[in-house]
Amino acid sequence: MSGHIMRDFEHLTAAIDAIAVHAERYETYGEQLRRARGEQAALLRAAPALRPRLDDIEAELTYLRIRSGRPSHVVQVGCRDGWSTAWMLRALRDNGHGTLHSFNRTKPLDDVVQPDLAADRWRLSVGDVRDRLAGVPPHIGYLFIDGESSARFARWYLPNLVARLAPGTPVGVGGVFAHHRPRPFGEAALILKWLHRNHIGHFTAAPSRQPVIHRQLDRIRRSLGFSDDLSGSGRNPMLFFDAP
């Protein structure tokens, strides 16, 4: 079997596995995810200034990955106005376990991360995470990166955050597939080269990159009645992988 055919076969197998794993998670946590979606929709109605930066499928996948992994410590780098923060806090709440450690240059909107949701499960550090590395918990169970989108920042977080993770720790990096073709010297190209060099598989629900995964997951979620578009965007450019 030629190298190209083998790579195509491996990519197809990985896509099938990703669809199967997340289909099972949608089935397992569907009802609680439905409630979380309803609460996120209520946020949009209550906070007109809110502009979601996490699209629907990637938000749901993040919720499901946190639910299934039951991490004690989730680290979020870049929470912007708090939309993604609220999603992850709902996953921890529904798990009945875990703390979210958010690092952001500014404080999120006050009416997005509500006190009853934050409760004792949220720790916010305002400022550049590169200056606050000592505040990152030593044992990270889920890593969510959606901060500065640049190759320079990727060169920092790969050795300083990703490299310290235990093998198998799930990671999500936002905006990687925002463009159909990664810019040659940007964050996306750098992290994809790093994944390839270290033989690490990945997946995304971005239709521009993996249309089969996007189409099948969208069918599954729509069968559950998740047809309302909360974010206003269907790009879902987040990259998912597990630490080596």
- Dump pLDDT digits (tens) for 25-78: 999 999 999 999 999 999 999 988 888 989 999 999 999 999 999 999 999 999
The more confidently predicted of residues 184 and 244 is 244
Tell me how far CA of residue 136 lies from CA of 125, 168, 170, 234, in angstroms: 10, 19, 16, 32
**And the tokens for 158?**
């790969």
Matching residue, tokens 């559950």: 224
Residues counted in the chain: 244
Residue 228: which of 218, 236, 237 has the closest Cα?
A: 218
pLDDT of residue 125: 95
Query: Both tokens of residue 241?
Result: 């992988």
- For residue 42, give the 3-state DSSP assignment: helix
- In this model, does residue 7 exceed pLDDT 80? no
Number of CB atoms found within 10 A of residue 198's CB: 12
CB 76 within 8 A of CB 144: yes
What's the whole-number average pLDDT of the chain?
Answer: 91
pLDDT at 10: 52
pLDDT of 8: 42
Average pLDDT rounded to a whole number, residues 232-243: 94
CB-based contact 31:211 (threshold 8 Å): no
Distance between CA atoms of residues 232 and 214, nearest Å: 16
Q: How far apart, in Å, are the Cα atoms of 163 and each of 8, 153, 166, 232?
A: 28, 14, 8, 34
Q: Which amino acid is at 149?
A: S
- Does residue 11 carry a pLDDT above 80? no
How much is the average pLDDT of 129-156?
A: 94
pLDDT over 50 at 5, yes or no: no
**Cα distance between residue 150 and residue 56, in whole Å:** 23
- Looking at the predicted structure, is the pLDDT value of residue 4 above 50? no
CA atoms within 13 A on the CB side of 206: 21
Helices (H), 47-150: 56-69, 83-95, 115-118
pTM of the predicted model as reported, rounded to 2 decimal places: 0.94
170 touches 242 (CB < 8 A): yes
pLDDT of residue 117: 95
Q: What gap in Å lies between CA 114 and CA 59, rounded to an integer?
A: 18
At which residue do the structure tokens 């990955």 appear?
Answer: 65
Residue 166 has pLDDT above 60, yes or no: yes
pLDDT computed for residue 169 by the predictor: 98
Closest CA to 75 of 141, 121, 133: 141
pLDDT tens-digit readout, 93-130: 999 999 999 999 888 866 789 899 999 999 999 999 99
3-state secondary structure of 25: helix
Residue 13 pLDDT greater than 60, yes or no:
yes
